[in-house]
Every structure is written in C-alpha cells, then in structure tokens.
Amino acid sequence: MQLLGGAASDVSRDEEVNGKPPRIAPLREDELSPEAAEYCKWLRGAMGIPETGLIPGVTATMLRHMDLNDAQTTIGVMLTSKGKISPRERELAVLRGGWITGAPFEWSEHVVIAKRLGISAEEIERIIEGGAAPGWSAHEAALLTGVDELLSRFMISDETWATLAQSWDQQQLMEFPILVGVYAATAMQQNSLRVTTEGGKPGLTSR
Amino acid sequence: MELKGYGDRLAERTAQVVGEGPKIAALADSEMASETRALVDKIRLSAGAGTAAEVPEYMRTMVKHPDLFRAQMEMGTVLFKGLISPRERELAVLRIGWLAGAPYEWGEHVKISQRYGVSREEIARVQQGSSAPGWSEHDAAILRGVEELMSDYAVSDATWDILAKTWDEAQLLEYPSMVGQYVVTAFIQNSIRSRPAPENPGLSHS
C-alpha cells in the first residue's frame, strides 16, 4: 500500500480540502444549546479565550453533536495532559500524521504548537521527508516510521516496535498507536467537513 | 491512492498480526484491581454486553494504562450509542476491520454485526466492498466512504452527497469520527498483537 505522503502538491491538496466552503456550518453563538453554551464557557476558561472571544470553528461545528464532542475532548485532553509520551514526541507524530493525511487544519495548527515546544523549522522540513531522512535519533526515526506504518499497513512493524521499546515503557508503547490513530481520526473528520484553517493560516504550506 | 486490503493473503496477514502472540502481556483476571474490574463492567453494561465472567484479554491489556483506556472506552460507548444506526455502524466497522487486516476487530464484529441485522451474505459482500452489486445506494456510500477515508483521509463530494440524502447533519458529523475511532482500534489491536478469543477464527470468520 502506498502513502499519499507529501500530497503530490501541497497547494492542490489545500484546494481539494478547503477550496469549497465547510460542509457543515459552525454553530453561531445564538444557536448554542444550554449544554453547548456551558461547554463554550469551560473551553474559553481552559484555552484562555476572552469571555466573548470566538470559539474555534471546528469546535463550533462539533457542538452540533455534544456527546461526540465531549468524548473527543476527553481523549484529546487525556493525550495532551496525562499522556505518557512527551510533548515533543507527540508533536513529531502529529505533524507526520497531518502531513501524510494531507490535513491542512491539523498540519497548520500543529506547526504553531510544535514551534512553541521548541521543534525547529529545520525539523519541520525534515518531518516532511520522514523517518528515513538523515539527522533523526534512532528513536525519533522509529517514531516517524511508525506513523507511516500505521497509516499504510495498520500496524507497527517488529523492527520499529523493538526500537521504540528501547526508550519507551509499556504505557508509552500502548499510547503510541492510539495517539497516531486519534490524530488520524481528527484529520479524517476535519478534511471531510472541510474545516477552514484558523486565522487564515495557509494550510499545508504552513512552515 | 490504492487501498488493497489483505483479502488475498489472509493467512500471511494473520501470522503477521497475531502469530507470535501479544506484545504486551495482559493482566490476569486476579491481578485486576476491583475498581478496574468495576470500570470494565460499567463499560460493558453501557454497550449492552452485560458483565463478563472473564474480562477479554484485550481489555485486560489496555487497563495497564487506565487513563487512556477510560478515554478510549468513553469514545467507544458514545459511538456504540451514537446517532448512526447500529446496522450502518457495523457495515462500516466490518469494512474497516477487513481493509485494516485486523483479525480481532473483524472477528468480533462478524459476531456483533449479526446481532444488529447484518446477514452472513452481507458480511461476505463487505469483503468485496462498495462496488459489489446488491447494496442500496446509501449502504454502498457508507462502505465507499470508509474506503476513501482509509486511503485519502477525506470523504469525496459524491459520497457525501449520497449520505446527505439520508443522514442529518449530526449523523454526517459522526461518520468520519466513527470510522476514525475504529481505525484507531485496528491500529492498537494489530500493533500489540491482540488475539481473537480462541473460538474466534479472526480474518477467516465469515
């Protein structure tokens, strides 16, 4: 099975995903159910958004299905706040996943997050090349290769697992396929809904 | 992109995934803390499965990372009781398990799907996919959407438009997330080499 990888041309994939308007419109503030309004209050607090500040479009769309939104929030918060995989490792995996899945929203958001965590512009370019690019440690190369294996063959190879197991404990090893999968699921959802990138970010050409 | 699946090499794929046994040892039933046991029972009850005399090996493995297990199970429970009908969900899950070459997921859902009205003939037809003759337009679109999401990570306009004839916005919202969640399940179960229960023949279950 062949990976989409690099999306032939970033611009044409951006056009494919975001060239048309979102398939499901975000809820407006005056359309929120009491439950959704309560969630927005919590989210603004958690994300430091001002009381009347804009709720991100992707969230405002998901508020049309509160149960699903809650469950996605639970796993997202779990992976980022109670996850056993370090933030740097997580972001390497998420960026590789966002690139392979040709996901303009996920890629552009995580370029910003990754940089905040100290991932360099040079490393972001190298993530696009993948685990075989020169310069990665054996562990980080295996991490990036593991993302490719999951997205193309739906399992991690013995070789990659063995390399990861040199650095990671059982909990981290168990978390990895789920981490990659949850962000792949996010890409599937955001791509399918044609979620608009936040703040006019350029999608897959973000660096 | 081409999504070939593993239909022509079932034995090879089964050996690759589960041949050497689990990569992470499950807890023994007796090693599970009572609160963990209670959590598993709660999850099983909410999915309509009833408490189990013995907790499945896959769950006894995943409880080694309790926060992750709980979050995964919350998502699974929401989708199990989701807005997409059980029969539609099971058609999608079977297609996912088949394309992902996932012995545990496929084998389990051959059983589960029959509880929700999927016939054995349809289970065989899921292996052929969306273009097999005999599906309604809507069911074919459910299967084709899975094929698109697993190869191109987006649902095409043509497929979306057909689904939107039958589904409301919340069901359409649920669909890519539901597919994604069962892809996550294939990722983890294949990667840790989760074995189907002894009586379950995995990918050759029909």
Segment A163-174, tens digit of pLDDT:
999 999 999 999
How high is the pLDDT of residue B108? 92
Name the residue with tokens 């995580």. Answer: A110
Inform me whether the pLDDT recorded for A161 exceeds 90: yes
A6 or A22, which is more confident? A22
What would the mean pLDDT of B157-178 be, rounded to a whole number?
Answer: 96
- Mean pLDDT score, B73-90: 94
What does the pLDDT read at residue A8?
A: 46
Among B24, B70, B83, beta carbon nearest to A173: B24
Cβ–Cβ gap B170/A188 under 8 Å:
no
Of residues B80 and B53, the one with the higher pLDDT is B80
Q: Is A47 exposed, middle or buried (0-12, 13-18, 19+ CB in 10 A)?
A: exposed
Flag whether pLDDT at B106 surpasses 70: yes
CB contacts, 8 Å: A175 with chain B: 65, 68
- pLDDT band for A9, please (50, 70, 90 cuts): low
**Among A53, A127, A27, A61, which residue's Cα sits nearest to residue B174?**
A61
Instruction: Looking at mean pLDDT, say which of A21-30, A71-80, B4-13, B28-37 comes out highest.
Output: A71-80
Q: Is the ipTM of this complex over 0.85?
A: yes
Is there a contact between A188 and B65 if contact means CB atoms under 8 Å apart? no
Average pLDDT over residues B3-13: 83
The span from the CA of A104 to the CA of A201, in Å, is 9
The crossing angle, in degrees rounded to 10, of helices A104-116 and A170-193 is: 130
Question: A19-23, A141-145, A158-162: lowest mean pLDDT where?
Answer: A19-23
User: CA B11, B93, A104 angle in degrees (round to 5)?
Assistant: 105
pTM of the predicted model as reported, rounded to 2 decimal places: 0.93
Tell which B residues from 159 to 178 touch A, by Cβ distance under 8 Å.
160, 169-170, 172-177
Q: How confident is the model at residue B2 (pLDDT cuts 50, 70, 90)?
A: low
Per-residue exposure over B80-99, b if at least 16 CB sit within 10 Å of its own CB, e if not: bebbbebebbbbbbbbbbbb
User: What is the pLDDT at residue B89?
Assistant: 97
Task: Enumerate residues 48 to 67 of chain A having a beta carbon within 8 A of any beta carbon in chain B.
Answer: 61-62, 64-65, 67
Closest CA to B17 of B106, B111, B91, B127: B106
In this prediction, residue A176 carries a pLDDT of 98
- At B47 the pLDDT is 66
Range of weakest confidence among A130-144, B9-23, B179-193 = B9-23
Pick from A84, A149, A174 the residue to mutate for testing the B interface (most B CBs within 10 Å): A174
Residue A15: band (very low, low, confident or very high) from pLDDT cuts 50, 70, 90: confident
Q: Is the pLDDT of residue A45 over 90?
A: no
Using an 8 Å CB-CB cutoff, list chain B residues near A176: 191
Look at residue A199 and tell me whether its pLDDT is greater than 60.
yes
A18-22, B44-48, B124-128: the lowest-pLDDT one = B44-48
Residue A5 has pLDDT above 80, yes or no: no
What whole-number percentage of chain B has pLDDT above 90?
64
- Report CB contact under 8 Å: A150, B78: no
pLDDT per position as a tens digit, B131-149? 999 999 999 999 999 999 9
The residue ranking higher by pLDDT, A32 or B187, is B187
Q: Which of B174, B180, B184 sits opposite A65 (nearest CB)?
A: B174
